[in-house]
Amino acid sequence: MKTRNVSPTVYTYVVLINALCKENRLNEARDFLEQIKNSSIIPKPFMYNPVIDGFCKAGNVDEGNVILKEMEEKRCDPDKVTFTILIIGHCVKGRMFKLHSNGC
């Protein structure tokens, strides 16, 4: 796309992020979140949720929490889906105590 001077849109990024997460290529999906940060696109929760979900399902809830903090630092308010993903992730790990510290 860039070789043809076509800038990716928010939908381009979301499709790529979703596809990478479904293939469990979470670090690559995370790289796209970084690209979004360096672009003019305003971050939205639906961009972050698949990556948080992927890390939680892979058993790495702590990385999901890190991404949540990054969202908040970028003034991207988490939504109900974000918190639901984290609640389920913490419950599966048996870490109910951690929910309150994340604002859930």
Number of domains comprising the chain: 1
Q: What is the pLDDT of residues 35-93, one digit of tens each?
A: 888 888 888 999 999 999 999 999 999 999 999 999 999 889 999 999 999 999 998 88
- pTM of this prediction? 0.85
pLDDT of residue 3: 73
CATH number, domain containing residue 65: 1.25.40.10
Contact 36, 2 (CB under 8 A): no
Q: Is the pLDDT of residue 2 over 70?
A: no
Query: For residue 98, which of 72, 73, 70, 66 has the smallest C-alpha distance?
Result: 66
Q: First vs last Cα of the chain: how many Å apart? A: 39
Give me 18's structure tokens: 């979703």
Q: Residue 62 sits in which domain range?
A: 2-101
Backbone angles phi, psi at 40, to 5 degrees: -90, 5
Cα 54 off chain centre by: 8
